[in-house]
Amino acid sequence: MSQEFDVIVIGVGMAGLNVARRTRAAGKSVAVVDELPYGGTCMLRGCDPKKVLVGAAEVIDWQRRMQGSGIAGQARIDWGELMQFKRTFTDGPPKMLEKSLSKSGVATYYGQAHFVDANTLQVGDETFVGKIIVIATGAKPMPLGIAGEELLATSTDFLELEALPERIVFIGGGYIAFEFAHIAARAGAQVTMLEMMPRSLPAFDPDLVDLLIEATKEVGIDIQFETRVLEVVKEANGAFTIKAASPNGSQSFTADLVVHGAGRVPAVDGLQLENAGVEYNKRGVVVNEYLQSVSNPTIYAAGDVAATNGIPLTPVAVTEGIVVANNIVKGNERTADYTGTPSVVFTIPALARVGLTEAEASEQGLKFTVNHQQTASWYSARRTHEKHTGFKVLIEEGTDRILGAHLLGAHAGEVINMFVLAIRHNLTATDIKKTIFVHPAESSDISYMV
């Protein structure tokens, strides 16, 4: 016999949690189901544990930069201890979330859910009927279609390593590959990145990306561009051979670990969306402005699995979860506003952006001035010997609006939020110049960027 609920949420990450909690608070009968521990990628297998590792790597970087300027001795990362510390952030949340949801009256289930028909889900031997079903399953590593793909470690695997291998190859040159490469290099590994494209991080300002690549190479990370991986082979001694093609011909690399860092795709496999008449494409579940399926009005989607204008980031998933919950409870009245959504690559130094790039602004026919400078000579960089720092800010002619801001530096991930406020709330460059900021502080530098 099927169990019936007003709302069933598939996926208990940040999007799904917001939907479940808010619809339950509004009096709906709610169930959640996930095949993985509750909490989602960011909390358990992504952003949060990664940032813990980044923190340790930053300490190493600061210590090395300050050698001869008051800091003596050599610090090192104890990987085992670091993993123990990381687990203090990831071990507790799944059970805490399950307990919290249950206490609020949300029914909790585990397992792979798939659609039987437009409103029915099967999870193991149980079936559930939902008046509304929300898909919030997130994303998964993109299939690469290479021989030996099953030998690759995922980002989740990397974050669970009990010991750090000596030689690591990262396939790809996006967020995951760059961030983990910087962590591994600071922890003492020999790191190689194999990037299929001629450039990395295409969503970011190319001048600052070039500066980041300089910093990346300077810490000993080998980046091979236009290098397409063909096959991964595990040798008898346990090492891996990575066979690749590049403009220079065939190449071969050896590693103790090969990590998939070549991107992620919406996690729709196994849901059998066809049974529910849910339209989807390579970007995810196709939804309207209310995050409702365009082909099945009883289905909503939020987060990385939804084909929206939002970029696949945790704050966007939270926003979309809130929008979906509102529209379930009150009817379709709310849409997501993605204005001023920032994005950061947590390398060392960090790379951040918000708003438009030069290319995007030009494509829109906007007239603007560009303030661009490398800032290694600025006090905020010199005091800790930061060598690779800079900014680029786009200001619209006539309106004085901030069209885009791009930062590279140790504090870029924090300072970018000042520009987020400016873009989101239509503050002008003049508004920023007139503001009295704390000094000395990295955020006060924005007065000189506009």
CATH number of the CATH domain containing 47? 3.50.50.60
Residue that is last in its domain, among 273, 298, 330: 330
Same domain, 9 and 137: yes
Whether the per-residue pLDDT at 229 is higher than 90: the answer is yes
Same domain, 306 and 248: no
Query: Which residues are the active-site residues?
Result: 439
Same domain, 203 and 105: no
Residue that is last in its domain, among 204, 228, 262: 262
Residue of 155, 231, 217, 225 lying closest to 195 (CA atoms):
225
Q: What residue numbers bound the domain in which 17 lies?
A: 3-141+265-330
Whether the per-residue pLDDT at 414 is higher than 90: the answer is yes
Tens of pLDDT, residue by residue over 46-105, are 999 999 999 999 999 999 999 999 999 999 999 999 999 999 999 999 999 999 999 999
pTM: 0.96
For residue 335, being part of any structural domain is answered with no
Decide if 178 contacts 345 (C-beta within 8 A): yes
Same domain, 112 and 213: no
306: pLDDT confidence band, cut at 50, 70 and 90? Answer: very high
Same domain, 113 and 9: yes
* CA–CA separation, 411 and 443 (whole Å): 8
Tens of pLDDT, residue by residue over 262-285, are 999 999 999 999 999 999 999 999
pLDDT given for residue 1 in this prediction: 73
Residue of 361, 353, 311 lying closest to 207 (CA atoms):
353
Same domain, 257 and 270: no
111: pLDDT confidence band, cut at 50, 70 and 90? Answer: very high
Structurally, how many domains does the chain consist of?
Answer: 3
- Collapsing DSSP states into helix, strand and coil, what is residue 141? strand
For residue 338, being part of any structural domain is answered with no
For residue 162, being part of any structural domain is answered with yes
Residue that is last in its domain, among 224, 246, 262: 262
Same domain, 51 and 136: yes
Whether the per-residue pLDDT at 402 is higher than 80: the answer is yes
pLDDT given for residue 147 in this prediction: 98
Percent of the chain with pLDDT over 90: 99
Same domain, 137 and 269: yes
Same domain, 114 and 34: yes
Same domain, 129 and 242: no
199: pLDDT confidence band, cut at 50, 70 and 90? Answer: very high
Whether the per-residue pLDDT at 435 is higher than 90: the answer is yes
For residue 301, being part of any structural domain is answered with yes
Same domain, 301 and 362: no
pLDDT given for residue 19 in this prediction: 99
pLDDT given for residue 404 in this prediction: 99
- Mean pLDDT of all residues in 405-421: 98
Task: Give the bridge partners for 352, in sequence order.
Answer: 344, 407
For residue 241, being part of any structural domain is answered with yes
Q: What is the mean pLDDT of the chain?
A: 98
For residue 339, being part of any structural domain is answered with no
For residue 337, being part of any structural domain is answered with no
Instruction: Give the alpha-carbon dihedral of 204, 207, 213, 218, to 10 degrees.
Output: -140
Same domain, 33 and 127: yes
CATH number at residue 367: 3.30.390.30
